[in-house]
Amino acid sequence: MPMIGQLIPDATFTCYHQDQIQEINLQSYRGRWVVLVFYPGDFTFICPTELEDLGTLHAEFQKLDAEVLGVSTDSVYVHKAWRDVSQAVRDLPFPLVADAGGRLARALGIYLPQEGVALRGSFIFDPDGKLCVFEVHHNSVGRNMHELLRKVQAAAFVRENGGVEVCPAGWRPGDRTLKPGLDLVGKI
């Protein structure tokens, strides 16, 4: 099971990005937010809708100094073939990571060995490489990428404010925050 505070795995993976196969090491992203978006597989039904939405929000993630990585157990060659034929994922601005054998999915506790795929999961690691937010659910339910962006915004706000101010339910940038203390007990 994933645990808040666990470090991002120190591992190198192959990805398909900008029309080429590349190697990435997750530790190389230290100092930036890292958003891992696991999906069950290329050439499926829900996955391209999620990744397309994530692609449209990519610039907003980048404003937060967040690196977005799509991850499935497909090979880089399947990623390339999918990008070549699917309108939804053709122009994705972020890498698609090949987690062959589910090594990364296993490290985060979301690998389904009988199916050979990962659960649909989103993991946000802070600039220190520590897991601060995650969401995992059934593969038949798509995620809201605007909500994922909101979670990164909230985590970044809390980090920038040293936990002195925290974000209530549904918080968005510019909304009122809370300052934890005894004066709030029983008044909310």
Q: Is 29 inside a domain boundary?
A: yes
Average pLDDT over residues 45-52: 97
Domain range enclosing 78: 12-144
Phi and psi based region of residue 71 (left: phi greater than 0; alpha: psi -120 to 50; beta: remaining): beta
Q: Is 1 inside a domain boundary?
A: no
* Residue-level pLDDT at 37: 98
Q: Is 132 a catalytic residue?
A: no
* Residue-level pLDDT at 86: 97
Maximum Cα interatomic distance, the chain, rounded to a whole number of Å: 58
The answer to whether residue 80 scores a pLDDT higher than 90 is yes
Please identify which of the residues 15, 47, 132, 167 carries the catalytic annotation: 47
Q: How many CB atoms lie within 10 A of CB 160?
A: 10
Q: Is 162 inside a domain boundary?
A: no
Is-contact 188 176, C-beta < 8 A?
no
Provide the CATH number for the domain around residue 82.
Answer: 3.40.30.10
Quickly state the pLDDT bin for 188 (edges 50, 70, 90).
confident
Q: Is 98 inside a domain boundary?
A: yes
* Residue-level pLDDT at 7: 96
Give the count of domains, the chain: 1
pTM assigned to the model: 0.95
